[in-house]
Amino acid sequence: MKQYRLAMIPGDGVGPEITKEAERVMDAITKKYSIKFDTTWYDWSCDYYLKNGEMMPENGLEILKPYDSIFLGCIGDANKVADHVSLTMLLAIRKGFDQYVNVRPIKIFPGVYSPVKGVTPETLDMVVIRENTEGEYAGAGGFHKMGWPEGFATQTGYFTQKGTERAVRYAFDVARSRKKLKGGDDGKVGMVTNCTKSNALNYSMVFWDFVYNQVAEDYPDIKTDMALVDAMTMWFVKNPHYFDVIVASNLFGDIITDLGAMIQGGMGFAAGANINPEKDYPSMFEPIHGSAPKYTGRAIVNPVATIESVRMMLEHLDEQEAADDIHNSVATVLGAGEIKTRDMGGDAKTHELGEAIAKQILA
């Protein structure tokens, strides 16, 4: 039996209750497949910060490094700790473990309503690849005379050849593996859309475009495409079925994926992965709906994003059969339309939907 060591960081707000659903699904996988998960929970959170003055121990990365993967529930509670402080843990893990690719699939399940007209499981199938360790979130900058009339702040984004190229190359590889275009008259099997803003950001995004074009030369079987980020938000709504793979910088990817989440039915369906492709370090998987402190303890949060994050984790661990089983089980339960959480117009509890999916896995 294969065994994987997993670090579980439930975090804040609804994090603990959705992390229980992650473990519920993993328990079902263990019963059906020769896969065992050895999980350890860590209480790193805003409450931990209030007690210790830090979001995780100083040696937190050393603690996490031996694990095969990390599951993160959600971090943040602005009523306790300022968001720019609580986010430091997430950024430290991403950068410390060189999780330079953020993967956000945007698909919709049967039985799920999209606010965008014409969106169906057959028409919506795209994935956003976001550069995850530098760019606008590099953390370079500072304050000068905060609160004074002459006060100012600087925030510097940096884009390296290596950092940009490896993210863009990953996107082209994903397009090649997906084969969404299936090879038309032009022989192209996929498409990578470059999300940029080089008309206004005349250094960082011009450089980004330059590297994108360099990498594209190595992929003659992949169609190239470009959209300015502001226009892309329009095209996401107007013509979402057009897209295959989108590659974006840290900030732009962060923004457009939240819009993508709403197209796929809401934040409760949006799963995310922070990947170190070489597997030199553990990768981290998380639902991206946030901690929603006002819903804590009410068991009304949709667990699908959490369960799909577990699926992405299994894919990364090369357990494709089990990962497909999770995805198909989610589709079957949602397609039946009998169990819906509040965001889907129903009254099912978080654990009730999680139990139904786990039961379907074992069916």
Amino acid at 13: G
Residue 275 contacts residue 103 (beta carbons within 8 Å): yes
List all residues 6 or more positions away from 256 whose beta carbon is below 8 Å from its beta carbon: 128, 195, 229, 232, 233, 236, 246, 248
Q: Compute the distance between CA of residue 297 and CA of residue 281 in angstroms, rounded to an integer.
A: 33
pLDDT cut 70: percent of the chain above it:
100
Instruction: Assign domain 125-263 to a CATH class.
Output: alpha beta
How confident is the model over 73-87, as pLDDT tens digits? 999 999 999 999 999
Give the dihedral sign, CA 119/123/125/128. Answer: negative
The rounded distance, in Å, linking the Cα atoms of 107 and 147 is: 45
On whether the CB atoms of residues 267 and 290 are closer than 8 A, the answer is yes
Mean pLDDT by 10 residues, the chain (363 residues): 96 96 97 95 96 96 98 94 93 96 97 94 96 92 93 94 98 96 83 97 96 98 97 96 97 96 96 97 96 93 97 97 97 96 95 97 95
Instruction: Residue 222: name the closest of 263, 180, 271, 262 by CA.
Output: 180
pLDDT score at 182: 83
E-strand spans in the chain? 2-11, 35-41, 69-74, 101-107, 125-131, 135-144, 152-158, 190-196, 222-228, 245-248, 271-275, 283-287
Rounded Cα distance between 168 and 317, Å, is 22
Residue 330, helix vs strand vs coil? helix
Radius of gyration of the chain (CA): 20
Report the percentage of the chain scoring pLDDT > 90: 96
Are both 1-100+278-363 and 125-263 of the same fold?
A: yes
Domain residue ranges of the chain, discontinuous segments joined by +: 1-100+278-363, 125-263
**3-state DSSP assignment of residue 239:** coil
What's the pLDDT tens digit per position in 191-200? 999 999 999 9
Res 186: pLDDT:
83
Say whether 172 sits in a helix, a strand or coil.
helix
Pairing of strands 69-74, 283-287: parallel
Q: Within its chain, how far is the Cα of 243 from the centroid?
A: 18
CA 191, CA 242: separation in Å to the nearest integer?
A: 10
- Residue 217: predicted pLDDT: 98
Cα-Cα-Cα-Cα dihedral sign, residues 64, 268, 290, 270: positive
Domain spanning 1-100+278-363 has what CATH number? 3.40.718.10
Distance CA 274, CA 254 (A): 12
- The predicted pLDDT at position 139 comes to 85
User: Could you report the per-residue pLDDT of 15-51, keeping only the tens digit for each?
Assistant: 999 999 999 999 999 999 989 999 999 999 999 999 9
What is the predicted pLDDT for the residue at 187? 84
